[in-house]
Structure 1
């Protein structure tokens, strides 16, 4: 949804002055703003989303987002606001220990009244998803900002970086009772492989996208200029089920590995020095396809 802020309102929304900090990746590590195990799409719309780099979280599969609990993605102090039927509507800003801040907008309800504040830990409930303010449908508008107020236009949540123009499914590991990942399905073994093991020596993960039942990964080998894609399962591990991985250098044909696999699809390797690549994969009916990106 486009977020149009009147100049006076924009000034009112800015927090008090904070120490200068360069734009870019934030020092605080963020988890998804939803309950443990919940999967929603994170949309980094481009162009036209204002402010650029903010995420709109929306429905994914059978997970409807309206009324969902919204949780702090990292610890800090939460400040509660209400812009009425304009702009963010009901919204919360959490200021973190490094001076950075996150914003959560269009909330149906908040944990405190407007003007209030409270200390929060990572995973503390701060509100519920709604459609207040300048919103035409239920979703959560989410921002990561530096201490100076600059947007991180490629925010990372739960280890998934969502670049401008991307839409990725992210499974939450927030508020999982002290564990770093959602509890696995009963009697389902963990995947014994990592993306680096599958692709081989010299490959490093440079991007990933969450799927229902696993994730797909893009890796790069600086030594030979090759990319590699692998899709790892986290559900039905050890049992054969449909999965795929693909890699397409711009201007070249797409290479795909698909079938019924126990642990992973791939590896799919292609040379793409100084070329943009399109990549992705699927597990069952859940799939991801990137734009052409990671050029050069």
Structure 2
């Protein structure tokens, strides 16, 4: 079992250190010579971790749809088909920018993408949204968008046989990411995952994602809304059989307020992380391969507790 100690001296959560932090420390150490400083500055723009953009779901806050990364026959490979989930029809849903950038609108008629939008983000990476029923600008026009800006609605234009949203994440050079991540959920080639949107929730976006908090190897397998004030997530690491729960705030970001997260394998004790935190509670990690778990959390007075589930 691993998790956060219940005794903490500060509620402020620093962003988990990445490779750019280590590089920065190394650069400070080597800064005694002008040559080292110049070399570090020249290398920085090419660091993909430094330039990474965190994408939200392309739908409104709280909406859940399937993200289907087809393993064969999908063009281009690695693109996502967003489809209806659990009776919630996707046709006609607002499509929102997953991150800020400059949007360009296009219409290929009855072929290929049909009505589609490309957004170029601050680091040069791109996202594409295709088969739209409507767009908020005419073909050929551009506009600056923030994360959450509505750019169109889901439809079935172009080479589409049924309403869905075709979505791509591309590098600055145009290469498709075959394992795109949205709202902290990585959808690998051949996978189909239900993703719940936090795009625009609470009028502000938490800078952290569930997978970032839990760490490498964890993927979201379930989540529950805490009204409009937060969302609690259950993640699983298939490599080691560990579960992880984290609760993200969607309001009062940066201000310490009451937040909690808990995880309870069936037949074992419950582990809880609670306190006044600025962005999230957790991660709460427990090993529970082949065991049902009860999980949940709270933000303020709004809470969620699951039944024992996810027993595989």
Q: Same fold (TM over 0.5)?
A: yes
For 1:257, the equivalent position in structure 2 comes to: 291
Show the 5 A alignment for 1:1-296: 27-180=52-205, 204-213=215-224, 215-219=233-237, 227-230=240-243, 232=245, 255-258=289-292, 261=294, 263=296
Does the CA contact (< 8 Å) of 2:233 and 2:296 recur in 1?
Answer: no
TM-score (norm 1): 0.63
Alpha-carbon distance between aligned partners in 1 of 2:104 and 2:52, rounded to the nearest angstrom: 21
Alpha-carbon distance between aligned partners in 2 of 1:23 and 1:53, rounded to the nearest angstrom: 19
For 1:7, the equivalent position in structure 2 comes to: none
Question: Which entry has the higher C-alpha Rg, 1 or 2?
Answer: 2
User: 1:258 Cα deviation (Å)?
Assistant: 1.8
Moved over 6 A (4+): 20-26, 194-197, 283-289
Does the CA contact (< 8 Å) of 2:105 and 2:139 recur in 1?
Answer: yes
Does the CA contact (< 8 Å) of 2:221 and 2:236 recur in 1?
Answer: no
The verdict on how the C-alpha distance between 1:165 and 1:196 changes in structure 2, with shifts beyond 3 A counting, is: closer
Does the CA contact (< 8 Å) of 1:78 and 1:118 recur in 2?
Answer: yes
1:227 is paired with a residue whose SS is: coil
User: 1:148 Cα deviation (Å)?
Assistant: 0.7
Q: How well do the aligned residues superpose, as a CA RMSD in angstroms?
A: 3.9
Structure 1 residue ranges without an equivalent (≥5): 1-19, 182-193, 198-202, 221-225, 245-253, 265-282, 290-296
Q: Deviations over 1:150-192 (max 9, x none)?
A: 11111111111111111111111112243336xxxxxxxxxxx
Does the CA contact (< 8 Å) of 1:108 and 1:132 recur in 2?
Answer: yes
The verdict on how the C-alpha distance between 1:25 and 1:53 changes in structure 2, with shifts beyond 3 A counting, is: farther
2:240 is paired with a residue whose SS is: strand
Alpha-carbon distance between aligned partners in 2 of 1:219 and 1:262, rounded to the nearest angstrom: 16
Alpha-carbon distance between aligned partners in 1 of 2:311 and 2:166, rounded to the nearest angstrom: 22
1:206 is paired with a residue whose SS is: coil
Structure 2 residue ranges without an equivalent (≥5): 1-44, 225-231, 248-258, 267-287, 298-305
The verdict on how the C-alpha distance between 1:70 and 1:26 changes in structure 2, with shifts beyond 3 A counting, is: farther
Whichever structure has more helix as a proportion of its residues is 2
Does the CA contact (< 8 Å) of 1:44 and 1:56 recur in 2?
Answer: yes
Alpha-carbon distance between aligned partners in 2 of 1:49 and 1:196, rounded to the nearest angstrom: 29
The verdict on how the C-alpha distance between 1:30 and 1:75 changes in structure 2, with shifts beyond 3 A counting, is: same
The verdict on how the C-alpha distance between 1:288 and 1:60 changes in structure 2, with shifts beyond 3 A counting, is: farther
1:174 is paired with a residue whose SS is: coil
Count matched residues: 219
Q: Deviations over 1:38-89 (max 9, x none)?
A: 1111111102111001000011113210000000001111000000000000
TM-score (norm 2): 0.60
Alpha-carbon distance between aligned partners in 2 of 1:74 and 1:196, rounded to the nearest angstrom: 17
